[in-house]
Homo-oligomer: A and B are copies of this chain.
Amino acid sequence: MATLKDVAALAKVHPSTVSRVLRSVENVPITEETRKRVIAAAKSLDYQPDQRARALRLGKSNTIGLIIPDISNPFFAEIAKSIEQESYDSGYTLVVCASNEDQEKEIDFVHNLISRGIDGLIIAPVQDSYEHLVDLKKRNYPFVLVDRCFDEFETNAVVSDNEAAAFEAMEYLKDLGHKRIGFLSGRSTIYTIRKRRQGYQKAVDLFGLDKDDALVSAGGFTFEEGYSETLKMLSLAHPPTALLIAGNRITFGALKAFVEKGLTIPDDISIIGFTDSIV
């Protein structure tokens, strides 16, 4: 890799001059002839400024970090894609890290990314703890949460109104005539899940629907868990006639259970799932 020094040597000027020519800004006057010589030299050496050196000197890296719990989940992958596109268009490079729903790893990534001189951070937190985020806030480090935030800790965040969404979905199912609606949950420590469940409960109460703990599953986000929890619910003495499902993978698991039980949608059972994804 050619450095400023190499270009300077070739153009027979001082490195600082090369820098000034190449950044071109500033009100420092440069002879047209020098400028041409420098540009030619830079081109002939295929000079690319060393970003880590720039970042070190400037205290700015034009890079932002994104930490998501699971890159292989289309929901987060889609988020990553959008952020990446927007970053790229704004001249930023995005560093995507996958915490894999592991709190330790997330904390690791936060430290690691900061020490790399990242300009800002976007996090979909694991939500097993948040001291590291409190710390970020205290240090005035720019970061934004996405998809998940904390009730007890105020931050900038981009989230959906999960409670209202769940409530609306329930209302729709109620209007279809359903009285006994199951709720397939995900990890209940997570913001989105808690809110969706609140919406579900609110609807159950308000609409006078069947209130039964057996109609609310616990569990995680996986396909397998969705499958087994659905089977469990379908084999109840009074199975639900509709399901509200709090995650895309869980939904696919439920579908598998339906197929296995020979149930058809919407004839035998109705479902509404969160986080739609075709593929």
* Residue ranges of A at the interface with B (Cβ–Cβ < 8 Å): 1, 48-53, 55-56, 61, 63, 70-74, 77-78, 80-81, 84-85, 88, 93-98, 100, 105, 111-112, 114-117, 223, 248-249, 252, 277-279
Contact = CB atoms under 8 A, between A and B. Distances in A.
Contact of A48 (B1, B80, B111, B223): B111
A252 B278 contact: yes
B85 A81 contact: no
6 contacts: A48-B111, A56-B56, A80-B98, A88-B105, A93-B116, A95-B95
Contact of A115 (B49, B80, B114): B49
B52 A81 contact: no
A148 to B, nearest CB: 19
Given A1-B115, A52-B52, A84-B97, 17 more contacts: A1-B114, A50-B115, A50-B117, A51-B115, A51-B117, A53-B56, A71-B84, A72-B80, A74-B74, A74-B77, A74-B279, A80-B98, A88-B105, A93-B116, A96-B96, A223-B279, A277-B279
B97 A94 contact: yes
B96 A81 contact: no
Contacts of A51: 112, 115-117
Contacts of A252: 278-279
A88 B51 CA distance: 23
B114 A48 contact: yes
